[in-house]
Structure 1
Amino acid sequence: MHDAPPAAEPAGITGTEPEPLSHGLKQRHMTMLGLGGVIGAGLFVGSGAGIAVAGPGIVLSYLIAGALAMLVMRMLGEMSSAMPASGSFSVHAERALGRWAGFTVGWLYWFLLVVVLAVEATGAAQIAHGWAPSVPQWAWVLIFMLVFTGANLAAVKNFGEFEFWFAALKVGAIVLFLGLGTLAVFGVLPDTSPVGLTNLTGQGGLLPNGWAGVVSGVLAVIFAFGGLEVVTIAAAESDDPARAVARAVRSAVWRILFFYVGSMLVIVTVLPWTAMRPGQSPYVAVLDHIGVPAAGQIMNVVVFVALLSALNANLYGSSRMIFSLAERGEAPRALLTVTRGGVPVRAVLASVAFGFVSVLLNLKWPDSVFLYMLNAVGAVLLVVWGLVAASQLRLRRRIEREAPERLTLRMWGFPYLTWVALAAMGAVLGLMLTDDAARPQVMWSGAATGAVLLVAGLREWRERRARA
């Protein structure tokens, strides 16, 4: 093992030093990361809550939320292909807006990942405990954490292989679902008759709860798109970072929207939206309706894989983010130790340690201590996306001025669509404040963001005093 050399001050565009990490991720890993990174349990299970408030209008909700996620992904792709770094948007924020921004977005995102990791580990353990009741839930959590810690401490290609096959299974499941659902709509499957547009026009029509329902649906589903950021973090460890991230973003952006919107269209066309039961996966409901045997267990396997995939990706993303913070002097330098295989071992262990703490809190106090932590990261994703957009606005012009040849992937309609995305994020936060269920998330996330900003401000004030 060795300590990584100090990173160059990330102020310019052309003077970046190479990352001390491994370059074991291949193009197929990056492409599947881009495709599978946002396909998680939030889609397979959480979409039911969106259908309950929006009805068939959930298709429009996913179109709106998906369009915003696509814009953010394109911005991330533009900056990451021009300036690949293990800290991705944290490094970009520092270069564009100053150290306070890089510090704030980096620590907020790290905190977000290690807290959400607990939800994923606990959810996967609940499913596994249902299959093997003799093994206690806490033991399953321990097994998952140990397995994926080992995978992340080994060569980065192991992480890439895990995610490649996890993503392949998720993508395959959605493609199969879309195929079966489409056949059911036209009555091609045995014991089915053509559905037509009956379920889209009946039970209150396309918008049974009006546009207010569509907006509520957006609030219910937008956070399911979290996870798209990991592909830009992983870009720094690919063979050709600039080319790899550009290709991954291009291939993922439209397909993701197709998977999400296509799935919702099939669901609300095959079944009346009023038939959805709270807590039940709408995918299971459709598969049961068209006569797929053991649909519930099949979807349980898919959700289980989706949770483990997210757990693996979050461990990876959090370790690389805190390593990048340490490189720039924003986290303890002890975290810079890198193995001969290019793995930031202490950064991985630090993230896993906090992840274990989060899991224990979730198992012991799910409705008190852990609930406050979960609320504290509830709206952080929008803060991160907002800083991504603000960074892209400033960096795009600087790259065009200093190194235009690095713009291999460009944001659409710059700067207008970037401003549209920023306005949309502000609107979502405003709407969350008017929603009784979402308001605590905004308040607690605002407090967490304020605390990190305060620490960043105090650090800069102390450094200015020391220089003076």
Structure 2
Amino acid sequence: MASFNDIQQRERGLQQHLTSAQMVMIAIGGAVGTGLFMGSAFAIGFAGPAVLVSYAIGAFIALLLIGCLGEMTVAHPTSGSFGAYAEYYLGPMVGFVLRYAYWAALVLAVGMEVTAVGIYMAYWFPAVPQWIWVGVFSAVLVGVNLRSVKVYGAVEYAFSAIKVAAIIAFILIGSYVVFGAPAPGMGLANYQVGGGFWAKGISGMWLGVIVAMFSYLGVEAIAVAAGEAQHPERAVQKAMKTTVLRLVLFYLLTLALMLAIVPWTEAATQTSPFVRVMELTHIPYAAGVLNFVVLVAALSAMNSQLYTTSRMMFSLARAGQAPTHFGRTNASGVPVAAILISSLGVAVAMFVNAFWPEQSFVWMMSIAMFGAMLAWFMVFVTHLAFRRRRNQEGQAPLTFRMWGFPWLTLLGAVLMGAVLVTTAFTPQFRLTLAFGLPWVLLLAIIYMVRHKK
């Protein structure tokens, strides 16, 4: 391949309608969803109050990722994103395996988010089977994605705006409850309940990082959306600089207040700990309102992930690595077939919900996280090759550059590798590598067989 321009020309056909504000909301939409509102309960169960350290470590890794991915995206804005970068800088087989692994991860993540939708709807309608809600809401969001990227961007902006407003309201209410007029059993003293801040030790805190990482997964959607941004270079820089800061504030402040209101031993439940907090504040209708917010959060994350995974399939098709009809767009610039095939996770979610409703969420989360974590790990590896190639070719430095290169890029790769390895020793997440490693091996074999022919 002579230059990266060949890939960018190959992936033309999508329409550039997304603004930088919408791109920020797309990233928040993907990263502030079930991982925060429901997954945080699992992280608290692992780490206790030290879950704050777990999420701080996750935020640091996300910050490093944004730095590496941002630099490559400013140089090469395209919907194939890190999959296309891996293809060009590490080799076609790496790009093939990475895109399919990530595509499968997000297909399952879509199913996981809509699984959470069924759980949230059970708060109001406990007698209705969860799989019915899975089907209804899935049909609506697939319809939104099929309209146009402009409609998708507007809906995602609205979803994310509701989440941001709710999180800000939660922070204000929580601050008043904890510091303004604390009720009995509420306050910073709850950090010492059940064994203190380090109740689960350093090992428990590190296990919490696994869930924290899953919570932050989705910020990479900015890079994928760059291929449909109005002014990609400017939009990417603005979006990436503000997204991580907002995510860190949202995650750490909300978790810190939640643990002060509810002892961590009560927050580590199977339902959203945020709804539990609102129940304890005794504010009229607060719990029901927040349940609506976490429902919107799950729908928003699902909407963002469906968008991202469909563009990854579009990129594969344009590279000749998937059936050509997945790379076609309609008059509105929408890859219809890619969206429909990327909705498979909904079918998986409906099946799992129908037969194993209690285990469905953890199963879907543990399997889905492999491909996304692999993508993050490979972003750091690709960035090393990207910068080395640019230096060899004597290209001028970009306006957006990863700081502390190569040491911080290497640190990001080491931390992500360590998180992935840790899943093998965690009973709740043993499916992550048990599913992921054979899947990657199968993809590599498929690639070699196809190209040998």
TM-score by length of 2: 0.91
Does residue 357 (structure 1) correspond to residue 377 (structure 2)? The answer is no
Question: Is the Cα contact below 8 Å between 2:70 and 2:240 reproduced in 1?
Answer: yes
Q: Deviations over 1:428-453 (max 9, x none)?
A: 12222222332232122111111112
Structure 2 partner of 1:93:
86
Question: Is the Cα contact below 8 Å between 2:84 and 2:95 reproduced in 1?
Answer: yes
Relative to structure 1, is the Cα distance of residues 404 and 267 closer, same or farther in structure 2, using a 3 angstrom cutoff?
Answer: farther
- Give 1:399 shift: 3.5
- Give 1:364 shift: 4.1
Q: 2:341 & 2:429 partners in 1: Cα distance?
A: 30
Question: Is the Cα contact below 8 Å between 1:185 and 1:194 reproduced in 2?
Answer: no
Question: Is the Cα contact below 8 Å between 1:85 and 1:236 reproduced in 2?
Answer: yes
Q: 1:373 & 1:178 partners in 2: Cα distance?
A: 30
Match of 1:71 among 51, 58, 64: 64
Question: Is the Cα contact below 8 Å between 1:36 and 1:168 reproduced in 2?
Answer: no
TM-score by length of 1: 0.88
Question: Is the Cα contact below 8 Å between 1:393 and 1:415 reproduced in 2?
Answer: yes
Aligned with 2:428: secondary structure? coil
- Give 1:410 shift: 1.4
- Give 1:256 shift: 0.7
Code of the residue aligned with 2:206 in structure 1: it is: V
Relative to structure 1, is the Cα distance of residues 27 and 135 closer, same or farther in structure 2, using a 3 angstrom cutoff?
Answer: same
Does residue 295 (structure 1) correspond to residue 324 (structure 2)? The answer is no
Match of 2:118 among 98, 102, 125: 125
Question: Is the Cα contact below 8 Å between 1:361 and 1:370 reproduced in 2?
Answer: no
- Give 1:257 shift: 1.1
Structure 1 partner of 2:241:
250
Structure 1 partner of 2:414:
423
Does residue 240 (structure 1) correspond to residue 225 (structure 2)? The answer is no
Relative to structure 1, is the Cα distance of residues 99 and 365 closer, same or farther in structure 2, using a 3 angstrom cutoff?
Answer: farther
Relative to structure 1, is the Cα distance of residues 297 and 266 closer, same or farther in structure 2, using a 3 angstrom cutoff?
Answer: same
Structure 2 partner of 1:177:
170
User: Which sits farther off after the overlay, 448-457 or 247-256?
Assistant: 448-457
Relative to structure 1, is the Cα distance of residues 347 and 129 closer, same or farther in structure 2, using a 3 angstrom cutoff?
Answer: same
Aligned with 1:85: secondary structure? coil
- Give 1:107 shift: 0.7
Question: Is the Cα contact below 8 Å between 1:55 and 1:268 reproduced in 2?
Answer: no
- Give 1:226 shift: 1.4
Runs of 4+ residues over 6 Å off in structure 1: 367-374
Match of 2:323 among 325, 332, 338: 332
Identical residues among aligned pairs (%):
35
Structure 1 partner of 2:390:
399
Structure 1 partner of 2:19:
26
Structure 2 partner of 1:3:
none
Q: 1:130 & 1:278 partners in 2: Cα distance?
A: 14
- Give 1:420 shift: 0.6
RMSD over equivalenced CA pairs, Å: 2.6
**Structure 2 gaps, min length 5:** none
Please give the residue correspondences for 1:37-76 in structure 2 after superposition, counting only pairs within 5 Å.
Answer: 37-76=30-69
Q: 2:261 & 2:139 partners in 1: Cα distance?
A: 41
Q: 1:36 & 1:345 partners in 2: Cα distance?
A: 22
- Give 1:68 shift: 1.1
Relative to structure 1, is the Cα distance of residues 128 and 48 closer, same or farther in structure 2, using a 3 angstrom cutoff?
Answer: closer
- Give 1:417 shift: 0.8
Question: Is the Cα contact below 8 Å between 2:115 and 2:360 reproduced in 1?
Answer: no
Code of the residue aligned with 1:359 in structure 2: it is: A
Relative to structure 1, is the Cα distance of residues 314 and 275 closer, same or farther in structure 2, using a 3 angstrom cutoff?
Answer: closer
Q: Deviations over 1:169-220 (max 9, x none)?
A: 111111111111122221x24x747966422345433212221221122123
- The number of residue pairs the alignment matches comes to 450
Structure 2 partner of 1:465:
none
Q: Deviations over 1:392-447 (max 9, x none)?
A: 11112323555845723211211111111111122112222222332232122111
Code of the residue aligned with 1:299 in structure 2: it is: L
Q: 1:95 & 1:183 partners in 2: Cα distance?
A: 52
Q: 1:185 & 1:129 partners in 2: Cα distance?
A: 30
Higher helix share: 2
- Give 1:99 shift: 0.5
User: Which sits farther off after the overlay, 312-321 or 15-24?
Assistant: 15-24
Code of the residue aligned with 2:46 in structure 1: it is: V
Q: Deviations over 1:274-322 (max 9, x none)?
A: 3335213222233233332233312210111011112211221121111
Code of the residue aligned with 2:71 in structure 1: it is: E
Aligned with 1:208: secondary structure? coil
Relative to structure 1, is the Cα distance of residues 371 and 274 closer, same or farther in structure 2, using a 3 angstrom cutoff?
Answer: closer
**Structure 1 gaps, min length 5:** 1-8, 463-468
Q: 2:88 & 2:110 partners in 1: Cα distance?
A: 29
Please give the residue correspondences for 1:101-112 in structure 2 after superposition, counting only pairs within 5 Å.
Answer: 101-112=94-105
Relative to structure 1, is the Cα distance of residues 201 and 356 closer, same or farther in structure 2, using a 3 angstrom cutoff?
Answer: closer
- Give 1:249 shift: 0.6
Q: 2:167 & 2:401 partners in 1: Cα distance?
A: 29
Q: 2:95 & 2:446 partners in 1: Cα distance?
A: 13
Relative to structure 1, is the Cα distance of residues 221 and 27 closer, same or farther in structure 2, using a 3 angstrom cutoff?
Answer: closer
- Give 1:380 shift: 2.2
Does residue 227 (structure 1) correspond to residue 218 (structure 2)? The answer is yes
Aligned with 2:342: secondary structure? helix
User: Which sits farther off after the overlay, 404-413 or 334-343?
Assistant: 404-413
Code of the residue aligned with 1:49 in structure 2: it is: F
Relative to structure 1, is the Cα distance of residues 296 and 232 closer, same or farther in structure 2, using a 3 angstrom cutoff?
Answer: same
Relative to structure 1, is the Cα distance of residues 371 and 445 closer, same or farther in structure 2, using a 3 angstrom cutoff?
Answer: farther
Relative to structure 1, is the Cα distance of residues 255 and 360 closer, same or farther in structure 2, using a 3 angstrom cutoff?
Answer: closer
Structure 2 partner of 1:452:
443
Match of 2:75 among 73, 79, 82: 82
